[in-house]
Structure 1
Amino acid sequence: MAGEEDVQNPAALTEEQAGRMLAEMNEVIRAGEEMRQLRAEMIKVLVGLGWTQEKIARLTDMSQPAVSKQVAKYRSADPLPPMRLSLDQHDTPWLEGRLWGLAEEISENFHDTARCTRHVNAIARGRKRFTPRHVDELRRLLEEDLLLHRADMPGSYRDAYDEISRALDVPSPAPSTATAPASVRRALAHRLQRDRLRAAE
């Protein structure tokens, strides 16, 4: 029978193998959908900063009509107030983005031995979210990496981690005035943190 042949044939694909393959595909699809949504939110931010449609289309690798459609939608809504791009901000998504940027930088520079690499890859694939538990886990891994690679790591890495960690442990008493979605603020802080670390090397 067909079912019995599948069990007996060592070359047959098992249900477990197929399940793992499809689960991995679903992760990539989910991550792609989240990235598309994040890109749309970023376009809204860039429109608020006064960027031209031509520049946005070039940087996002989108067609001009597609960008025009999104720009028209955002311009018909209430404009966002100007966004601060200073690293010295203390809302949780911003700090999480900085932590993520630091982790990626360490992972790239010490890939074979960095404890945080698997976590960083899981974030990229959408397998880990910025929940309090996952953020605590990432902090623990970064602390291990900072100790493990202390002799070969720029001091700016430890300085950045200490600053981020203190801010996460002692939230700012001032209420957050952030208007952009948390995912956008994380992405911006992530990029700015990586650029700051590279400039300090």
Structure 2
Amino acid sequence: MAGEEGRHAGSGALTEGQAERMLAGMNDVIRAGEEARKLRAEVIKLLVGLGWTQERIAELADMSQPAVSKQVTKYRGESDRLPPLRLHLGQTDLPWLEGRLWGLAEAVSEALDGDARCTRHVEAVDRGRKRFTPQSVDELRRLVEEDLRRRQAELPGGCRKAYDEISRSLDVPARSGADAASGADAGPPSVRRAVAREIQRDHLEGRC
């Protein structure tokens, strides 16, 4: 197979390996786009439940008002039944902790101008190439911890404290049923991760 690819490369033709990599990359982009659209729909549902106007949602989402109106109509009954989303940082359900770790890793990567050990992992998550699994969360924790150990002096204040809080909570073998239930009741995991990510970043940047 390697010889076949080499012969095609020498002849100026596109090799099977090159085509495979191109298509795989396109699939990643398409998959990430589909997931982002689903997440946007869930966030719109959340904002409707919080009483945001269609005009404001359309402006922030860069959508037409008819498109927002269609989603608002679709979700109005569901959002009325959702409990209020809790926004305090110290929640301990798993999606919330994953979102906090994601936001922390992004802040570390940006502070180190993309030269952090966690940068490639963060970029893969942002582009939909990595999902949140026990293995990927452990890997991201390890990379962030290494960045903190090697380059803490270059990072924003609060990064070590945030990491320690997140790690302690992730290390609890079995979070209480109440925590898990409250997280599940407050919305889909993808939304909780996205909200926790933003709140964690705001705390690190002093906006909260």
* TM-score bracket, shorter-length normalisation: over 0.9
- Alpha carbons 1:111, 1:117 under 8 Å: kept: no
Residue in 2 aligned with 1:91?
93
Secondary structure of 2:205 counterpart: helix
State the distance in 1 between where 2:175 and 2:84 align.
21
Residue in 2 aligned with 1:33?
34
Deviation at residue 10 of structure 1 after TM alignment: 3.3
- Alpha carbons 2:9, 2:15 under 8 Å: kept: no
Moved over 4 A (4+): none
State the distance in 2 between where 1:8 and 1:150 align.
46
Gaps of 5+ in 2: none
State the distance in 2 between where 1:132 and 1:108 align.
24
Identity %: 65
Deviations 1:41-89 (A, max 9, x none): 0000000100001111111111111111111111133521111111110
Deviation at residue 155 of structure 1 after TM alignment: 3.5
Q: Does 1:196 align with 2:190?
A: no
| Counterpart pick for 2:135 among 133, 136, 147 | 133
Gaps of 5+ in 1: none
* Residues 1:8 and 1:75: Cα distance change in structure 2 (over 3 Å): closer
TM-score by length of 2: 0.89
State the distance in 1 between where 2:175 and 2:121 align.
27
* Residues 1:8 and 1:191: Cα distance change in structure 2 (over 3 Å): closer
State the distance in 1 between where 2:8 and 2:161 align.
57
Structure 2 residue identity aligned to 1:186: R
State the distance in 2 between where 1:8 and 1:147 align.
44
Structure 1 residue identity aligned to 2:197: H
Residue in 1 aligned with 2:113?
111
Residue in 1 aligned with 2:123?
121
TM-score by length of 1: 0.92
> How many residue pairs align between the two structures?
196
Q: Does 1:144 align with 2:155?
A: no
Deviation at residue 127 of structure 1 after TM alignment: 1.3
Secondary structure of 1:101 counterpart: helix
* Pairwise CA RMSD: 1.7
